[in-house]
Every structure is written in structure tokens, then in C-alpha cells.
Amino acid sequence: MSETIFTKIINKEIPADILYEDDEALAFKDINPQAPVHFLVIPKKPIATINDMTKEDNALVGHLHWVASHIAKEQGFAQDGFRTVMNCNEHGGQTVYHIHLHVLAGKPLGWPPYQEKLKV
Ligand code: AMP
């Protein structure tokens, strides 16, 4: 897998507003927030897309969700609620090919995200 900007953030080669770090994961604020609270939780292991996960990565991806709720509790928005999203490939809107969990919070979020009328 070719290196992405997130590898540079993991290696501290470029700055990021880091909220949490352990041996397996890193969480930092999204540079282009789409909600009052918007941060990303990434594995330190580079995995390009969800499609590239193996079963050995199951616990690691589960850990990303634990990190999301840990930060939510720490920052006080766990009870109000939040949304986690992991985009995959072009139709999912993925732009950085190192998996990352978006965590969005801070106001009631719209649902469904897909507003266009479905043509069947
Ligand atoms: P996605 O479109 O799901 O691949 O999400 C990529 C996200 O990474 C976007 O929300 C970007 O705003 C965010 N992003 C890109 N570069 C940086 C950066 N240097 N620091 C923080 N967030 C970034």
C-alpha cells in the first residue's frame, strides 16, 4: 500500500490536533469538520480500505470504535450521541486510502445521508 498523509501524521512528520494515542490507534481532529465535533480514529497499521481488512484485523477495527466512545465520554457527548462512519472507495466517498473512522457529534445529525430519490 502506498503511503498516505495519515502515515505522515502517525510518524509526526506533519502536525495534527491529536486527541488520543496508543500503540494501535491514533485520533485527531478532522481538518475540514462537517459537524461541531469531527475527529478521525485511525489504526497505526496501514489498511487501505475496509475491503483490505483480514479477519486478524477484526479486533483492531473494533478498537477504533472503543477509542471513539472513550473520547466521547471524556469530552462529554457520549450520552447525547454521535455518529461513526467509515467510507469505502469511490461510491463511499473515501479520499484517503488508510481506513479511518469519522466521529461526528455536537448537534442532532440528519438521517438518511442519501437524499436523492432512488431510481429503481
Ligand atoms: P474520507 O473522505 O472518508 O477518506 O475522509 C478523509 C478525511 O480526512 C476528510 O474528512 C478530510 O477532511 C480529512 N483530512 C485530510 N487531510 C487531513 C489532515 N492533514 N488532518 C486532518 N484531517 C485530514
Using a cut of 0.85, tell me whether the model's pTM lies above it.
Answer: yes
In tens digits, the chain (120 residues) has pLDDT values of: 678 999 999 999 999 999 999 999 999 999 999 999 999 999 999 999 999 999 999 999 999 999 999 999 999 999 999 999 999 999 999 999 999 999 999 999 999 887 777 666
| Per-residue model confidence (pLDDT) at position 65 | 98
**Cα 39 to middle of ligand 1, angstroms:** 9
* 26 vs 18: CA distance, rounded Å: 7
Is the minimum distance from the CB of 87 to ligand 1 under 6 angstroms?
yes
What cell does 70 get? 472513550
| Per-residue model confidence (pLDDT) at position 15 | 98
Residues 98 and 4 sit within 8 Å (Cβ to Cβ): yes
Is the minimum distance from the CB of 48 to ligand 1 under 6 angstroms?
no
Structural domains in the chain plus CATH codes:
5-105 (3.30.428.10)
